[in-house]
Structure formats: C-alpha cells, structure tokens
C-alpha cells in the first residue's frame, strides 16, 4: 500500500531585513503586538494538513528562543509541532537548502514541502488548504500567486512602454514541491542569482508549477509602510480566502 505524501512547512528566517531600517530582524518586529514570525508559524500550526513546521534561522539568532519557546530543539519537536534549525545561510536559497538537508531523515522524497516567507504574516489555514487541495497532486508543484490587475509599465529599453498584463501573476508563498524535486532544483541551479524564488529553480528544470490564486492579505512585509497594511488584514480577518 502506497502511503499518501505528508505536508511539511519550511520557513527560512535567517534574513536581517535591511530595507526595514529596524534595530531587529524584520521577522521579529511586532504586528498587532505579536512578532511577525509568530503569526507565520501559527498559521501552519493551526492547519490540520501540516505534519510539522521547520524554521531555519542563523546559528547566532538571539531572538527565536523567546518567539518560539516551544521549539527548543529535536526533543521538543514531537510535542510542539515546530522545530528550529540553526543552519541559516547567507542567502534565502542557501537557508532553504541547508534546512532541507538538515531534515533529510524526517521527510520522504514524495512528501511535500511548503516553503513560506517568514515576512508574510497574513497566511491562513484556508490558504494553505487551498494550495494543497488544488496543486498537491501536480508533479511540478505549485504556489500561491495573484493575477496582475494594474497596468504594467517598463523602462527597460530606456523609454516607457506598457506590457500586456494578460497571463501575468505576482508570486506569493507558500511554494509547494516534493522534497526530492525542491532539493534537486535548488542544488542544481548553476546561477543562484537567477533564482528569485523556489518556483524559478523548478522552472529551470523544464517544469511548470501550478499557480493557485492567493489573497492580498498574504503580502510580504518589506518596507515600514507594509506593517500598517498587514495590521489591517490581521485586525479584520476575512473568511473568503478559499
């Protein structure tokens, strides 16, 4: 009998968030009184579809113990649903690769890994379920994304021009792939600078990940002004993300 693949969350959280101009890494900044990373982790812990959540931080991270006190190490993993991996790298891609290799004994090749930005605190269990339901059987994986609705301009040629927006999407996370595929795609990328997200690494293998419509509440907090938008969504949660 073939066992159904399990779903795991992997959250790279080793960045410093330099564009936030804050004293602490941005994943620890408060959103409605709770650290951003805590919001993100809680979304996965609230989903019955997620077998376990792994958070990748830098070796010298001095904040995560207070934000995720239940995830002290391997001993706490079976009880808390979340494990902190202190193997973060210099880049997001390196952190994800290090995290995948660190959990090799716990995740099977066919199991699905949902990679999610720590700075997207608006994720909900409903959006997680939508991604798994709609793209969970796609061998190329899938990701949440938003169709472009604004007119898109470019100045790449030196002059202002309008790009057709039909078929254009804005990638979000989680981005979900089998463990084997994600590890192979990231490890084989010849030019890491060309990897702007996990899906782009999979696309370099000639595969086409499925796009699943997400929600604006799942925005990435990059600039200080984004915090107010995230707070708005978290203060007035919506029930129609399905």
* pLDDT tens digits for range 139-186: 999 999 999 999 999 998 889 999 999 999 999 999 999 999 999 999
Query: Residue 89 — pLDDT band, cuts 50, 70, 90?
Result: very high
Q: How many other CB atoms sit within 10 Å of the CB of residue 73? A: 10
Residue 78 has pLDDT above 90, yes or no: no
Domains recognised in the chain with CATH numbers: 7-235 (3.90.550.10)
Q: What's the pTM value of the predicted model, to 2 decimals?
A: 0.92
- pLDDT, position 75: 42
pLDDT bucket at 132, cuts 50 / 70 / 90: very high
77 pLDDT above the threshold of 60:
no
Q: What is the pLDDT of residue 24?
A: 77
Residue 88 backbone phi and psi in degrees, to 5: -60, 145
Residue 238: the pLDDT is 61
């Amino acid at each position: 009998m073939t066992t159904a693949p399990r779903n795991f969350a992997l959250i790279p959280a080793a960045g410093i968030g330099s564009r936030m101009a804050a004293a602490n890494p941005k994943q620890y900044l408060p959103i409605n009184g709770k650290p951003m990373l805590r919001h993100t982790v809680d979304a996965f812990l609230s989903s019955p579809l997620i077998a376990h959540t792994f958070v990748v931080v830098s070796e010298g991270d001095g904040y995560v113990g207070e934000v995720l006190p239940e995830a002290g190490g391997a001993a706490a993993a079976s009880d808390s649903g979340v494990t902190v991996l202190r193997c973060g790298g210099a880049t997001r891609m390196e952190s994800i690769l290090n995290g995948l290799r660190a959990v090799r004994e716990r995740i099977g090749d066919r199991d699905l890994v949902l990679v999610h930005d720590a700075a997207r605190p608006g994720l909900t269990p409903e959006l997680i379920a939508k991604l798994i339901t709609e793209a969970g059987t796609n061998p190329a994986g899938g990701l949440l994304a938003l169709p472009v609705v604004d007119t898109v301009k470019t100045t790449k040629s030196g002059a202002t021009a309008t790009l057709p927006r039909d078929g254009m999407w804005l990638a979000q996370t989680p981005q979900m792939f089998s463990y084997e595929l994600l590890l192979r795609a990231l490890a084989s990328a010849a030019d890491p600078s060309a990897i702007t997200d996990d899906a782009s690494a999979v696309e370099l293998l000639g595969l086409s990940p499925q796009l699943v419509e997400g929600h604006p509440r799942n925005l990435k907090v990059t600039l200080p002004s984004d915090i107010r938008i995230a707070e708005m969504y978290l203060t007035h949660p919506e029930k129609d993300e399905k």
